[in-house]
Structure 1
Amino acid sequence: MIDQGRSMLYGYRASVVQPDRVAAFRLQDWGKPSGIAVGRFNGVSDGNVYVADQASHRLYRLFFDGTRMHAVQEFDLPAESVPAACHTDHWGNVYVTDMGRRHVLKFSANLLPLATLQSPDPTFHPVRFQPLFASFFAPDGQLQAYTGFNQAYLLEQWTDQSGGRRFELGIDYHLQSIRLSDDLSTLQIEGLMTDAGEIKFELITALEKKSLGIFKRLWSNSGKIQAVWNRSFADGRGVPGGFYRVRTFVKSTYNKIVASRESEPFYLPLYYYQDCGSLDGRDVYLMKGQRLLTREVSPAKTIVVDPEEVVYRFPQLDPQKRYEIRARYFLNRGTVVQQLYANGSPLHAPMKVGQTALRTAWLAIPPESYNGSTLDIRVVNVGGYGKAAVAEIWLREAGYDPAAPPALEVPMAQLPTQFVLKQNYPNPFNPSTTIEFIIPEAYSGPVSLDIYNMLGQKVRTLVQSDLTPGLYRQTWNGRDRAGQRVPSGLYIYRLKAGNFVATKKLLLMK
Structure 2
Amino acid sequence: NVYEFFKKSDTSGTRICLNVEEMEKVPPFYAINFGSPDPTPFTIERDGYVAYGENFFESVDFDSTKLIYHFDGIEPAPQKNIELVLYHESNKDRELRIKIDNHWTRNVWVSSGEPVVVEGMIPASCLEDGEINVTIEPVPPTNNELAVCSAIWIYDLSTGQGGSQFAGKPDKTLPIIYSLRNSYPDPFSKNTIISYSIAKSGNVSLKIYDISGRLIKTLVNKEQDQGMYKIRWEGTNKYNRKVSSGVYFYRLKSGNFLSTKKMVCVR
Answer yes or no: same fold by TM over 0.5.
Answer: no
Higher normalized contact order (CA 8 Å, seq sep 6+, divided by chain length): 2
Please say which structure displays the higher CA radius of gyration: 1
State the TM-score, normalized to the length of structure 2.
0.41
TM-score normalised by L of structure 1: 0.23
